[in-house]
């Protein structure tokens, strides 16, 4: 599936995002593999468990703002500084609360296991600096993803250097747990400097702007928390039911699958502003744009998934060694839910434009409950592979099956099915637009 659907400014945006991520992927592959081999399945699984607990709070920390802020920039161009400043401030406050809360939760869940508690606390610091990620969406609205690509790359280089130093000095797992926080700290500093260099409006807090954002985004808070539950419950339950090594194998499989998904994120981010603009001008084009986005997400993922199924064993053995070979089986299942997972991400533009956010919380509550039940059934039977099947079933239900049962969301589910069948995907000359 080529990127010919993208217009010039979208293509340029996507190319910068993808190019930066490709270099980052190389660093991630080299440093990540060496780090995993050094830590071993148990310690690697311990850090993954800490990140999973943090993941439960990430959606609350974002307050759902990232899903609506780009549209707000377009709707209120003279108040971008107030909007962005209010978003960052609200997210910092919620993140501080979350960092303390997740440490307290770990204290009770892992009482007496001070190493685990400290790992969770060190990972939790990243939540506070993650708040500055909202600035990234201002650059996206300006079609300047080159800036965020460079900032993300520099932050990752700093984190990689940090890990390399730890490997040379042979530090323990606690030092590696802080690595994710280093990434966000460096990114926050760089993106703030870049925002000033590119003459963004002065950041300031406005109660009215904050209230306006929350009035549109609060539907995403609960839905995001439900997504976090079925996105991280697997690692949490594997740790509690089987042990840290199983978390390590599962996290390795997830990590391998995630190495390439930056391509999907870049395509979605590049098309997001244009889809929103087309909604106001041409409904037919709006629907076609959504089909094109869904088709690209689906068929790119299918191609990659087939490769993982064919070469998964060889890849795990080559990269991680025999010690991590149990990760190959869940890898071949996990890879298939990537398409359905990113359907949910790509759907945000349609949901925002049609103001159907209120349905998300109902879908994701049902999905979260189903995922917990499926994990309880499958993990004792098949271990990490069972957790992978639970996630796959949940993602399919959340992306297509549940929306098809809701009248107001059925049109979007149809667009996804049409995209899979390539119906109405390819542009016609008479539908060309300057958007």
Which one is predicted more confidently, 25 or 387?
A: 387
**Which residue range forms the structural domain that includes residue 221?**
8-431
pLDDT at 319 over 50: yes
1 assigned to some structural domain:
no
374 assigned to some structural domain:
yes
Question: Residue 325's pLDDT is what?
Answer: 94
Write out the DSSP string of 150-165: HHHHHHHHHHHHHHHH
pLDDT band (50, 70, 90) for residue 1: very low
Distance separating the N- and C-terminal Cα atoms of the chain: 21
Average pLDDT in the 256-285 region?
84
Write out the DSSP string of 176-229: HHTHHHHHHHHHHHHHHHHHHHTTPPPP---HHHHHHHHHHHHHHHHHHHHHHH
Tally of domains within the chain: 1
Average pLDDT in the 396-401 region?
89
- What's 356's DSSP letter? -
For 47, residues 6+ apart whose C-beta sits below 8 A from its C-beta are: 39, 119, 123, 173, 176, 177
- C-alpha angle 394-397-398 in degrees, rounded to nearest 5: 85
How far from the centroid of its chain's Cα atoms is residue 279's Cα? Answer: 25
Write down the mean pLDDT value for the chain.
Answer: 85
How many residues are there in the chain? 435
327 assigned to some structural domain:
yes
Do the Cβ atoms of 363 and 223 come closer than 8 Å? yes
Nearest to 192 by CA among 180, 200, 183: 200
Do the Cβ atoms of 236 and 110 come closer than 8 Å? no
Question: Residue 19's pLDDT is what?
Answer: 66
For 114, residues 6+ apart whose C-beta sits below 8 A from its C-beta are: none
Q: In a 3-state reduction of DSSP, which class is residue 47?
A: helix
Average pLDDT in the 379-399 region?
92
Question: Residue 217's pLDDT is what?
Answer: 79
Question: Residue 27's pLDDT is what?
Answer: 72
Question: Residue 2's pLDDT is what?
Answer: 46
pLDDT at 106 over 50: yes
Instruction: For residue 316, give both structure tokens.
Output: 């795990």
315 assigned to some structural domain:
yes
pLDDT band (50, 70, 90) for residue 17: low
Round to whole Å and give the CA distance between 42 and 239.
Answer: 10
2 assigned to some structural domain:
no
pLDDT tens for residues 69-102?
A: 877 788 888 888 888 888 889 999 999 999 999 9
Round to whole Å and give the CA distance between 190 and 181.
Answer: 14
176 assigned to some structural domain:
yes
3 assigned to some structural domain:
no
pLDDT tens for residues 136-159?
A: 888 877 777 778 878 888 888 898
pLDDT at 419 over 90: yes
Do the Cβ atoms of 270 and 144 come closer than 8 Å? no
pLDDT band (50, 70, 90) for residue 433: very low
């Amino acid at each position: 599936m080529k990127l010919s659907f993208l217009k010039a400014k979208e293509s340029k945006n996507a190319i910068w995002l993808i190019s930066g991520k490709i270099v980052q992927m190389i660093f991630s592959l080299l440093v990540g593999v060496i780090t995993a081999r050094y830590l071993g399945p148990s310690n690697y699984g311990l850090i993954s468990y800490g990140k999973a607990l943090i993941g439960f709070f990430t959606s609350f920390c974002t307050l759902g703002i990232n899903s609506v802020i780009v549209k707000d920039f377009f709707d209120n161009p003279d108040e971008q500084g107030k909007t962005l400043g209010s978003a960052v401030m609200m997210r910092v406050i919620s993140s501080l609360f979350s960092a303390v809360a997740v440490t307290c939760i770990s204290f009770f869940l892992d009482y007496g296991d001070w190493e685990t508690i400290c790992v969770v606390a060190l990972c939790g610091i990243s939540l506070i600096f993650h708040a500055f990620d909202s600035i990234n969406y201002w650059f996206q609205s300006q079609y300047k993803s080159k800036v965020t690509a460079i900032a993300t790359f520099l932050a990752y280089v700093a984190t990689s250097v940090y890990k390399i130093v730890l490997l040379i000095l042979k530090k323990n797992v606690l030092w590696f747990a802080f690595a994710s926080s280093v990434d966000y700290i460096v990114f926050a500093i760089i993106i703030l400097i870049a925002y000033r260099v590119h003459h963004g409006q002065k950041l300031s807090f406005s109660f009215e702007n904050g209230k306006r954002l929350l009035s549109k985004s609060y539907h995403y808070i609960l839905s995001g928390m439900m997504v976090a539950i079925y996105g991280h419950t697997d690692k949490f339950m594997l740790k509690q039911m089987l042990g840290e090594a199983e978390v390590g194998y599962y996290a390795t499989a997830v990590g391998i699958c995630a190495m390439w998904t930056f391509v999907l994120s870049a395509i979605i981010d590049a098309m997001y502003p244009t889809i929103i603009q087309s909604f106001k001008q041409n409904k037919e084009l709006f629907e076609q744009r959504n089909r094109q986005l869904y088709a690209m997400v689906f068929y790119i993922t299918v191609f990659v998934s087939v490769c993982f199924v064919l070469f998964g064993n060889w890849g795990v053995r080559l990269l991680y060694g025999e010690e991590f070979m149990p990760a190959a089986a869940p890898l071949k299942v996990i890879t298939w839910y990537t398409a359905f997972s990113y359907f949910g991400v790509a759907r945000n533009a349609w949901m925002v434009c049609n103001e159907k956010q209120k349905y998300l919380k109902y879908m994701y509550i049902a999905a979260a409950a189903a995922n917990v039940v499926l994990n309880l059934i499958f993990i004792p039977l098949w271990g990490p592979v069972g957790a992978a099947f639970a996630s796959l079933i949940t993602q399919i239900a959340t992306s297509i099956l549940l929306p098809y049962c809701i009248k107001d969301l059925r049109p979007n589910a149809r667009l996804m099915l049409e995209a899979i069948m390539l119906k109405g995907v390819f542009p016609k000359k008479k539908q060309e637009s300057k958007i």
